[in-house]
Structure 1
Amino acid sequence: MVLVRKLKKLLIILIALWLLTVVLFSFLPVPFSAVMVQRQISAWSEFDFSYVSHSTWVSEKEIASVMYLAVIASEDQNFPKHWGFDFDAIEKVFKKNHNNGKTLRGASTISQQTVKNLFLWDGRSWIRKGLETGMTPVVELIWSKKRILTVYLNIVEFGDGIFGVEQASQYYFRKPAKQLTSHEAALLAAVLPNPHIYHVNKPSAYTLKRQQWILNQMRLMGGIAFLKKNNL
C-alpha cells in the first residue's frame, strides 16, 4: 500500500510538471524536443560524437506563411477544424490497414505529431500512442492552432540532425525561413513523412512528384487566404 501511494504521488507530480511545461511552452521558445534528445543519445551510443541534434527557434513572424500552408496541405488539411484527431482519416486508415493485415499505421494530425516529437519518442508502440492520445487534447485546449503549428515547425526533423524550419532553410537554401518560397516550402514538407529516406538536397522522383502535389493542394485550398480565413 505504501508503494502504491508513493507511485500515485509520483504520477501526480509528473502530470503536474508536464502541465506546467505545456503552459510555459504556450508562450516561451521550445529549446529542444524529446525526439532530438533521443537522436542525440542514439548517436552517442554508436560513438558518433560528430552528430549534433539541435534547432534554432524562430517566432511565427519569422516563418514564411507558405511554410504553414505547405505542412497543412501535406500533413493535415483538416487541421483548423479538428481538436487533435481527424476521425475521418483514422477510419479510412483503419479500414486500409485491416484489409492489408497491418497495424500501428495511423493518420496522425499535426497536433499529434507535435506532442509526439516534443514530449515522447519516435517509433511505433501502443504505449507511446496511448500517451499521445491522452496528451494531445490537453495541448489543443491550452495552445492556439497557430502555436501548435509554430512549435511543430520549430522541432520537426527535416534531415539527419536538421531540426526546425529555420535550420532547414539555412542549410538547404542559405536563407532564413521568413524568405522561403512556395516551391521551397513544398519541398521541405514533401520529406516530412520520413526525412531519412526522402531528401531535400537530393530529391527523388517521388519527392519531386509529392512536392508538385503539395503545391497543387496549396492552390486548391485557396493559398494564403486559407490561413487568414482560419486565423492561422
Structure 2
Amino acid sequence: MGERGSPSPPRWHRWGKRVLVLIVGVHLLWGAALILLRFVNPPTTGVQIQRRIEAVFRRVAYTKRATFVPLRRMSPLLRHAVIAAEDGRFYQHYGIDWDEVQKVASQSTENGALGRGASTIAQQLVKNLFFTTHRNPVRKAFEFTLAPMAVAILGRERLLELYLNVVEWGPGIYGAEEAARYHYRTPAATLDREQSARLAACLPSPRQRRPARMNDYSAAILIRMQQAGW
C-alpha cells in the first residue's frame, strides 16, 4: 500500500497565514506612503474622508479649510504648546511613550474602568492620515506598530510638521494656519503664548472645544511650557 500524503494543515493555520500576509502587506503599503510623505504633502487624510462621508449621510454641506505651511512659518510657541499638551516626551521616545502607557494602565486597573488615552503625536498622526476617529482595538494595535515607523521614516521635525498641518482644529478646520485664522484672525506665525496654549487645549476634542473656554487647561499648558523652559 502506497504512502499517504502528509495531512493538510488545519483551517485555522491557513487562515492565520493569510491574515499574517495581509498584515505584512498593509504595513508595507503604509510604509511606502510614509516614505512618500517625507517629500510630498498629503492631499487628504483618513479623518477628512470620514468627515466628507458623514456630511453625505447627514445631508449637510461639507466644508474643508486647510492650508499647508512649513514648520518654520508657525510660531514656535504653538509647537511648544502642542508638545506640552499632547506629548511631553516627544523628543525622548520613539513613537510610543511606554511610561505613559504604563501609567494609564495602572490608573485603569485601580479605577476598574478604561482611563484616559496615552496617544503620542506620532500615534495621532497615524490615526489622522490612515484611519478615522472611531475607537477600536484594531486601529489602536496598528497605531502601536505604525507610530515607531513614522518616527523612523519621517523624522521628528517632518512628523510634527505633518501633524500640525493635518490635525482637526474645529468643524471643517484642519491645521495650524486655518485654526489661527479661524479662531484669532491671524496667521500661525504670529500666535502668542496665550493663543497657542488655548489652541493646544482644544486638540483632545476639537469639534466641541473652543479656545475662549479653555481657561483652566490652557493655564496648565502654560505651566508645563514654563517648566520645560519654553
Matched, 1:132 2:143: yes
Matches within 5 A, 1:1-232: 14-48=26-60, 50-103=61-114, 105-200=116-211, 203-204=212-213, 207-223=214-230
**Structure 1 residues 102 and 8, CA, compared in 2 at 3 Å: closer, same or farther?**
closer
Normalising by structure 1, report the TM-score. Answer: 0.86
In 1, the alpha carbon distance for the partners of 2:113 and 2:88 equals 25
1:172-219 superposed Cα distances (whole Å, 9 cap, x missing partner): 11121111111111110011111123112xx33xx1111111112111
Deviations 1:70-126 (A, max 9, x none): 001111111100011111111111111122222374311111111111111112110
Match of 2:3 in 1: none
Q: Residues of 1 paired with 2:27 and 2:227: CA distance?
A: 42
Rounded to whole Å, the distance in 1 between the matches of 2:113 and 2:57 is 31
Going from structure 1 to structure 2, the CA distance change for 1:183 and 1:47 (only over 3 Å counts) comes to same
Displacement after TM superposition at 1:53 (Å): 3.0
* Bigger Cα Rg: 2
- SS of residue in 1 equivalent to 2:186: coil
Mind listing any 5+ residue stretches in structure 2 that lack a counterpart?
1-10
1:16 Cα deviation (Å)? Answer: 3.4
SS of the counterpart of 1:122?
coil
Size of the alignment, in residue pairs?
A: 217
Residues 104 and 124 of structure 1 are in contact (CA less than 8 Å); yes or no, is this contact kept in structure 2?
no
User: In the alignment, residue 32 of structure 1 is paired with which amino acid?
Assistant: T
Aligned-residue sequence identity (percent) comes to 35
Give the secondary structure class of the aligned counterpart of 1:158.
Answer: coil
CA distance in 2, matches of 1:13, 1:108: 25
Question: 8 Å contact 1:39–1:53 — kept in the other structure?
Answer: no
Helix, strand or coil: the match of 1:85? Answer: coil
- Residue pair 1:31, 1:57 contacting (<8 A) in 2 also: no
CA distance in 2, matches of 1:220, 1:105: 23
Q: Which residue of 1 aligns with 2:7?
A: none
- CA deviations on 1:23-72 (whole Å, 9 max, x unpaired) are 01012212221111111111111111x22134211111111111110001
Distance 1:115 1:129 in 2: 10
Retained in 2: the 8 A contact 1:26–1:142?
yes
Match of 2:5 in 1: none
TM-score in terms of structure 2 length: 0.87
Moved more, 7-16 or 27-36: 7-16
For 2:27 and 2:224, the matched residues in 1 are separated by 39
CA contact (8 A) 1:36 1:54 kept: no
